[in-house]
Chains A and B, each alone.
Chain A
């Protein structure tokens, strides 16, 4: 991989690291706007709200820089394996969402208690098994060379996940409009 290829790698990794840091609140620092104070790592609010956004961006930037730096040292012959790993991870993410939705749907519809369907491990294991099976049917062109389209697909996927994560803000309003 050449140094200039680090740019798309940074962008793709940044989106993933930002999603992780915002979802699990891995802020490098917390800003308290009313007090004009900065604390290291994610801290609870003091007087007024606490802002984590700058901390999430910093965490994501450091993670993405590290991945981009490592990417410059990876030889081209490894690219098919990276492609396979990204394809596997992306398929797993999509199947996990589907498996989770299906497990919750069955749980709601079932006439008796199926507690295990609510356990996080159920969709995780189900999606893993489905991905391993699906990976045997991946067309060769999906795994032969590193696809530049990931630079668009992964950030777009991250944006869609944010829409899903923030759905609680919209669903009541959409319900009111439809009413």
Chain B
């Protein structure tokens, strides 16, 4: 059951990363002309429509990771990492926990600034909040994979 949940967590993380990366790149680097290249097309999507999907996926991720998987990490994986004196992996996983919580709390503001019609006055804060959430999602994705494979990395 835990393996299935972990797989689901990883797959949903990939979808979340795709959505938030589209949104963040398009606000920082908006396409100027009709999309010709792959990268221009990547940025030329209607990113405001991604907002609710990103919020729902983030909340599901927080529930699956934080409520269903985190207790078993706390009683088994973390104990092993501490016994192996892998201080840095434990530390970066703790940061994942705190960054996720701050980003989870940021979701109401993210929804508020990204609701349509998009306000011109809030363009900068919209960009700022999307970037913080994007950074958190990328951090969580990389640290999650790192922690999952940590024993293999040091064997």
Interface residues in chain A, defined as those with a beta carbon under 8 Å from any beta carbon in chain B? 4-5, 7-8, 10-12, 14-15, 18, 22, 31, 33-34, 48-49, 51, 53-54, 56-57, 60-61, 64, 148-149, 151-152, 155-156, 158-159, 162-163, 166, 168-170, 172-173
Contacts and interface: CB of A to CB of B under 8 A. Distances in A.
Contacts of A34: 75
A172 B75 contact: no
Given A51-B71, A151-B129, A162-B98, A15 B91 contact: no
Secondary structure at the A interface, as helix, strand, loop or mixed, is helix
Secondary structure at the B interface, as helix, strand, loop or mixed, is helix
Contacts, number: 109
A171 to B, nearest CB: 9
Interface string B60-98: 000000100011101100110000000110111011011
A25 B94 CA distance: 15
A8 B126 CA distance: 11
A38 to B, nearest CB: 12
A159 B87 contact: no
A150 B75 CA distance: 37
Nearest to B94: A166
Contact of B124 (A7, A8, A61, A149): A149
B112 interface: yes
Given A8-B112, A152-B132, 13 more contacts: A7-B109, A11-B107, A11-B109, A51-B74, A56-B101, A149-B124, A151-B113, A151-B128, A155-B102, A155-B103, A162-B99, A169-B88, A169-B92
A49 B98 contact: no
B88 A173 contact: yes
Interface of B: 66, 70-72, 74-75, 78-79, 87-88, 90-92, 94-95, 97-99, 101-113, 121-122, 124-125, 128-129, 132
Contact of B125 (A18, A53, A152, A158): A152
A44 B72 CA distance: 19
